[in-house]
């Protein structure tokens, strides 16, 4: 593995996942408001704890490269579903941009599913 790959893999994992960790933590601080927003969009508010867990724990798992493919697949599905549910009004240009952002992030996670975490990941530990 060359130096660019060794450097880009962990940096890429941090960059694609940090927003989920931060978003999950912010949802804790604004729990009632987030729950209300979810319900206003037709999503049951009782799902919020699962959303927070997925965002925080899944994001951390990808960052440290632990069960990366599984965490990335879960986050890819979550991201695409969230895009459809919360940014599905593609006749509104801003919502179309937000939806396409979710599609792009989903693509990045699918690259992790396909190619693994790269360098500096806990998944690379040998089981000796």
**Domain range list for the chain:** 3-124
The 8-class DSSP code of residue 91 comes to T
Does 128 have pLDDT greater than 60?
Answer: no
Tens-place pLDDT, residues 39-89: 999 999 999 999 999 999 999 999 999 999 999 999 999 999 999 999 999
**How many angstroms separate the Cα of 54 from the Cα of each of 6, 12, 38?**
27, 19, 16
Supply the pTM of this predicted model.
0.94
The fraction of the chain above a pLDDT of 90, given in percent, is 91
Place of tokens 């979710």: 102
Q: 1 pLDDT band (50/70/90 cuts)?
A: low
């Amino acid at each position: 593995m060359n130096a660019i790959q060794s450097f880009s893999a962990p940096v890429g994992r941090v960059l694609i996942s940090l927003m989920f960790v931060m978003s999950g933590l912010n949802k804790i601080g604004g729990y009632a408001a987030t729950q209300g927003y979810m319900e206003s969009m037709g999503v049951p508010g009782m799902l919020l704890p699962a959303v927070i867990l997925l965002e925080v724990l899944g994001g951390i798992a990808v960052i440290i490269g632990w069960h990366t493919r599984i965490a990335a697949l879960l986050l890819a599905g979550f991201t695409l579903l969230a895009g459809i549910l919360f940014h599905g009004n593609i006749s509104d240009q801003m919502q179309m941009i937000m939806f396409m952002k979710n599609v792009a992030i989903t693509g990045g996670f699918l690259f992790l599913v396909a190619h693994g975490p790269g360098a500096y990941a806990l998944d690379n530990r040998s089981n000796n």
